[in-house]
Amino acid sequence: MEILGFVVLGLVAGAAASMLGIGGGVIFVPALAILFEFEQQAAQGTSLVVIVATVAVAAATHHRRGRVDWKTVWPLAITGAFGGVLGSQLALAIDPSALRRLFAAFLALLAIRMANRTRRSAHE
């Protein structure tokens, strides 16, 4: 039954991530941590590995449609890789419950910002 849950999660998160440009972690991490009771670091690590495939396919699709600004990609990708090393080390050093609260706060801030932007653009 757990495999079926992973299959459904992969389909839903992959479709949502590539449609919304969110990478999938926003969906994978909470689902793995809450629904499948992964420790926070394991949920994040698993999500990052899974996202490689999701992002590769979505990026190739956007590239074929001419929707990638390669001048922007390279500096962000290179510095993002270094940031990824730093962030991974920090995530592994933090207590799992503190990391989970930090992740939840990040998601809450994103939701508030998006709601405010949606409200502002509806009034314009």
Q: What is the pTM of this model?
A: 0.80
List, for residues 66-122, the tens digit of each pLDDT value.
999 999 999 999 999 999 999 999 999 999 999 999 999 999 998 899 888 877 777
Q: How far is CA 83 from CA 26, 33, 49, 88, 94, in A?
A: 18, 23, 16, 8, 16
Instruction: Please count the structural domains in the chain.
Output: 1
Cβ atoms within 10 Å of 24's Cβ, excluding its own: 27
Distance of CA 123 to the CA centre of its chain: 30
Domain that holds residue 95: 2-123
